[in-house]
Amino acid sequence: MTSPAPAATVHKAVILLSGGLDSSTCLLIARSEGFEVHALSFEYGQRHAVELERARAVASRYGAASHRVLRIELPEPRASALTDPDAVVPRGGVAGGGPIPPTYVPARNTLFLAHAAALGESIGAGVIFIGANVLDYSGYPDCRPEFLEAFERALQLGTKAGVEGGLEFEIRAPLLALTKADIVRRAASLGLDFALTSSCYDPGRGGRPCGGCDSCRLRARGFAEAGLADPAVA
């Protein structure tokens, strides 16, 4: 009998994966940095539930070690255009520096990060990747670096793993300061199959992007500026 070889240290990361362009790019970045990736998606009554199919496809295609879809109950009243079926998804075009848009979901990233921390602590993954971005989405307070830093600090102080050591909680937002065009270029360089991803807030049958919502407009602008065609709208 031979002794088993000593196991190489595996670095695990939890990836918040919506199935959109940004989070899918995060998954590829984490993989390119050598992490064993554990994808985490949420069903929270979003009208763009096609996201979850895309998240499954991305996790499967790019070798996620696991992929979980958790159901989150958001409180009523639903105060967001992304979850209220009677609300109107804004199509007014996108501009930085404006007020917080109606597509903001109360405490959404707080909830997502809390679940990511619970998963991370359970499986021994201290690094959490989130596709937050301040340039194009400056209106969302829960995408801002100061929020992410405060939350990271809370995790370091409030978890067994953080306090007893062995697991340094770290929230990584590698897209934070990138433009959408930068993200498209980065994703392309990592080999992302864009056709797998869905960014639309209000997709039609078969998940076809509407082309008019703020998220579709941002994506289109990013591809245009990067000089690439988007196969998802071909």
In the complex, which residues of this chain contact a second copy (CB under 8 A)?
68, 70-71, 73-79, 99-100, 104, 106-111, 113-115, 117-119, 121-123, 141-142, 144, 146-147, 150-151, 153-155, 157-164
**How many angstroms separate the Cα of 210 from the Cα of each of 55, 92, 198?**
19, 14, 11
Residue closer to a second copy (CB basis): 154 or 210: 154
Shortest gap between Cβ of 162 and a second copy (angstroms)? Answer: 7
> Which residue lies nearer to a second copy by CB, 107 or 224?
107
CB of residue 53 vs a second copy: minimum separation in angstroms? 19
CA dist 187 and 225 (Å) reads: 14
Output the smallest distance, CB 142 to a second copy, in A: 4
In sequence order, which residues have a C-beta less than 8 Å from that of residue 230 and are 6 or more positions away? 194, 219, 220, 223
Alpha-carbon dihedral sign for residues 138, 143, 145, 150: positive
- If the CB atoms of residues 154 and 188 are measured against a second copy, the closer one turns out to be 154
Nearer to a second copy, 157 or 229 (CB): 157
Return the ∠ at Cα 218 (arms to 28 and 173), rounded to 5°.
Answer: 40
